[in-house]
Chains A and B, each alone.
Chain A
Amino acid sequence: MPAFPYLFSNSIFRINLVTIAMMILAGLVVLIVLRLSIRKLDMRNPRGLQNLIEWAIDFTANMARDTMPSEQVVQWILPLAFTMMAFLFVSNWLGLIATIAIHQQQPIPWLGITAQSLAMAHGEVPLFDSPTANMSMTLGMALMVWVLSHATGLRRPKQYLWHFVKNPLGIMEEFTNPLTHGMRLFGNIFAGEALAGAILTMPILFGVVPTGFPFLLVWLLYSGFVSTIQAYIFTILMTLYVGQKSFHGGVHHS
């Protein structure tokens, strides 16, 4: 296990600083790209980055339309769905582009880097990593979606309760869904980084032949694919979960 720097490392309320910092970085990247794309907004002849972003928004909207009951809900979820997809896409790719770690020999107690954790990590302290390779973070996202879906459902309490009465096994799903939702994302990204890290430790023959290089190339390509797909899957599941509980609006529009 790499020795991540933690805040409040001795309490139950441990905060992984790298994860939070990488989240902010991913958010900033999304924000900067969006700002660049809207720098020269043109309604009649969009060009360059604007086209790309418009396509992405359109893609997200179509995805939401496939999984949600009404156009009203689609328009409501669209900002969140788009942000979520762009954010997760950037987050997943951040760890692929680079993972930076420093070798730290001295323990830093206030950041939770103890002698023990350093020994376990062979002195490696990561500073640049996918935030989605952290289980707590992905579960947090999943919980947020879960809360959002139930809040949406509770706008129509009768129908909300009735759909549990109709399908009692659905109550079980309410617990497994957020868990698998978060763990799926974490698992895929974490596995990608772990295996990439393992390949990097393969020996270099005679000091010049990196045996791991072809494996690394193939694995990085595959991880890139998985990163993209996982961002898509997480978002489409989000729209699906919220759509399943959107009892309102479906009456006006179908």
Chain B
Amino acid sequence: MQVFELGTFLVSIVTFLIMFLIIRRYGFGPMAKMLEKRRLYVETQITDAEQNRLQAERFLTEQQQLLESARHQAKELLDTARVRADELARDILSDAQTESRRLLEENRQLIERERAEVLNGVMTSVSALTVELSEKLLRRNLSHEAHQEMVREAEKLLGELIC
């Protein structure tokens, strides 16, 4: 009785290999393909989700930055406007003051000048009248020098009188 059967030994190997090839081709293959597809799908989904999360975070940060900068800008604008308004007000005020001062000065000078003119005219006519009057009163002829002397004296007196 021989226990080891060489034929069975070899044929079983061949049979198993054939069965294996058939099973791999028609049974295991589609299943493995599906599993691989699922693995890829899950991987893609995870990658996508991660990317989306990162993008969302980036957008959020960007938005926050934008908001911050906008707020900053608004504050700056407000500050500048306030400063400019202050400056403008100050300018207008100083301009008005200068203008009024100038007008005042001008008017004063004008008055001064007119007064001086009037005084001059009055003085001239008064001195001439004085000389004529004194001539008439004294009825004597005065020398040219004495006449000049008298006019000067009269002018001096008048000047003292006015001032």
Contacts and interface: CB of A to CB of B under 8 A. Distances in A.
B22 to A, nearest CB: 6
Given A7-B7, A140-B10, A140-B16, A27 B22 contact: yes
Given A27-B19, A57-B35, A140-B16, A135 B7 contact: no
A108 interface: no
Interface in B1-15: 1-13, 15
A182 to B, nearest CB: 10
B6 A83 contact: no
B8 A137 contact: yes
Contacts of A54: 31, 35
B31 A23 contact: no
Interface residues of B, number: 33
A14 B5 contact: yes
Interface residues of A, number: 46
B27 interface: yes
Q: Is the interface of B mostly helix, strand, loop or mixed?
A: helix
Interface in A115-144: 131, 134-137, 139-141, 143-144
A67 B97 CA distance: 101
Contacts of A171: none
B6 A20 contact: no
Contact of B15 (A6, A7, A24, A135): A24
Given A34-B23, A136-B6, A131 B31 contact: no
The 3 closest A-B pairs by CB, nearest first: A34-B27, A27-B19, A15-B7
Interface of A: 1, 6-8, 11-16, 19-20, 23-24, 26-27, 30-31, 34-35, 37-38, 41, 43, 50, 53-54, 57, 78-80, 82-84, 86-87, 131, 134-137, 139-141, 143-144
